[in-house]
Amino acid sequence: MKHAPAVDPFQWPRQIWHAGLLCLSLVFATACAAADVAAPSRPASVHTEAGRPATSRQHQLASQGYTEQEWRLQGQSQTHAQIGDWAKDGRWTAQATGAARPFATRLLVRRPQDPARFNGTVLVEWLNTALGFDLDGGWVLNRDEILREGYAWVGVSAEPDSITSLKQMQPKRYATASIEDVGLSYDIFTQTASVIRQAAASWGAPQAPAPKLLALGYSQSGSYLITYINALQPTTRAFDGFYLMSTAAVGMPIDKDGSRVFNTAYRPDLNAPVIQVSTEMEVLVGWSLSTTPDTDKLRHWEMAGAAHLDRHMQEEVIALDQPERQLALPHCFKPANTLPSRLFNHAALHGLREWVWRGTPPPVAPRIGRGRIGFVQDDDLGNAQGGLRMPELDAPLAQYGMYSNFPTRQISVWTAYACMAGGSANPLDGDVLRARFANEQAYIQAYTQAADKLLQGGFLRPADHAQLLARAKSVKLPR
């Protein structure tokens, strides 16, 4: 039986950086709001910046037929204030307050070089600053699907913390960048949508339909989107859909003096589809996540066995182009979680795109099993029951643990966080495997049945299904 610490995974990185503690309390959000939102005093302007931007992935895109540019966005941004009590039902109200103030920030723009490849959908990601720099977590989890399907992607340095990190990495390049406080961030995100919607109209083939914009948030950035969805989207209508990944049920403050709203929900009168995909780590400590209803505008998927910062995410954090910071893969007491759960993220992105363009909602996913008092229920091997399950859980070679992993050397804030948030993949004993699978063929058959079920249910993309089967065929069981 897995017990739940009273902490918030969104705050893991910052708590570690500033207090040396991992705070892992999660709660879920199903909220919405009516907002009185004023337009900025004048439209934002953009221009392209030459040279190598901070946190670039140009080195990964050169062979993929994609370009990466850095745009400078500047203008006047409006702050907002909370009106009344923000209840946990998500029906939140906000109104413009004070005079608009100047800002200057950057956008990272990645899109197909060939206009014919652009599928008309732009992913606008609120970059995550919890590790002390701009992390493109939504890009990392969905990159393969983005590249093969021809999405455009825009990363927004929306927060003051983004500006601080950019100035630390390249002081001269970002000397004029400025966001005075986080209260301006929401309007900056809205203005980004307006600028990108106009620009993206020329990115595709001639006579293509008007582009659709999907807002993305990974971990802490997803909490900013919860506040945006509940308090601002009702009137801005800036985005056609929202995609939250590894996000707690926490709404971030709408201004620098505000408070987080824990255990919140999405508002019931959503005007754009929302899909949230949670790892077992968030579900484990965010009991209300499992009670999030699926509606005609909301889907919530829970991934059994998945970790918040698995080995794939760790590798991509290190691969980010930032020579000013030297990070290495941690050496942990247990092997890091290697479950390819991001393949469910690919299916979720595809499902949201179909929802927005064609009105066809994604499938409803089973939830992770819980006992009568709320604890996540495990099977006989210690893996969570229920939920979306990679074939590795129905044809298991390992037990996928949560939280109980620690660095064994080169101990630092980064290694402590990476080991704990990275979970573990604990190989099963040879005798256990032999009792379950008579030979490799029996294993492949069980694995294929599980993968086929996911494909048929709409939870795997065909290319990912083929990748999983190829991976299974390389497995050698102990004799």
Whether the Cβ atoms of residue 345 and residue 245 lie closer than 8 Å to each other: yes
Whether the Cβ atoms of residue 170 and residue 54 lie closer than 8 Å to each other: yes
| Secondary structure of residue 281 in the 3-state scheme | helix
Tokens of 99: 């005079």
Report the C-alpha dihedral over residues 425, 426, 427, 433, rounded to 10 degrees.
Answer: -100
Distance CA 403, CA 307 (A): 8
| pLDDT tens, the chain, 479 aa long | 444 333 344 344 433 433 332 333 332 233 333 333 444 445 688 899 999 899 999 988 989 999 999 999 999 999 999 999 999 999 999 999 999 999 999 999 999 999 999 999 999 999 999 999 999 999 999 999 999 999 999 999 999 999 999 999 999 999 999 999 999 999 999 999 999 999 999 999 999 999 999 999 999 999 999 999 999 999 999 999 999 999 999 999 999 888 999 999 999 999 999 999 999 999 998 888 888 999 999 999 999 999 999 999 999 999 887 766 778 899 999 999 999 999 999 999 999 999 999 999 999 999 999 988 888 999 999 999 999 999 999 999 999 999 989 999 888 999 999 999 999 999 999 999 999 999 999 999 999 999 999 999 999 999 999 999 999 999 999 87
Q: What is the DSSP letter of 319?
A: H
Would you state the pLDDT for residue 323? Answer: 67
Would you state the pLDDT for residue 252? Answer: 97
Would you state the pLDDT for residue 400? Answer: 97
Q: Alpha carbon 439 to chain centroid distance?
A: 38
Would you state the pLDDT for residue 321? Answer: 74
CA dihedral (305, 350, 28, 79) positive or negative: positive
Distance CA 394, CA 397 (A): 9
Provide the pairing of β-strand 93-112 with 121-126.
Answer: unpaired
DSSP letter string over 53-110? -TTB-HHHHTTTTEEEEEEEEEEEEEEEEEES---TT--BEEEEEEEEEEEEEEEEEE
Would you state the pLDDT for residue 331? Answer: 94
Whether the Cβ atoms of residue 279 and residue 344 lie closer than 8 Å to each other: no
Within a 13 Å sphere around the CA of 417, how many CA atoms are in the beta-carbon half? Answer: 29
Percent of the chain with pLDDT over 90: 82
Identify the H or E element spanning 123: strand 121-126
The per-residue pLDDT for range 185-236, each reduced to its tens digit, is 999 999 999 999 999 999 999 999 999 999 999 999 999 999 999 999 999 9
Provide the pairing of β-strand 66-83 with 93-112.
Answer: antiparallel
Whether the Cβ atoms of residue 282 and residue 361 lie closer than 8 Å to each other: no
Would you state the pLDDT for residue 34? Answer: 31
Sheet with strand 93-112: strands edge to edge: 45-49, 66-83, 93-112, 152-156, 121-126, 212-218, 241-245, 274-279, 298-303
Tokens of 3: 């017990």
Tokens of 140: 């990392």
Tell me the domains of the chain and their CATH numbers.
Answer: 28-380 (3.40.50.1820)
Would you state the pLDDT for residue 43? Answer: 63
Would you state the pLDDT for residue 55? Answer: 94
The per-residue pLDDT for range 169-182, each reduced to its tens digit, is 999 999 999 999 99
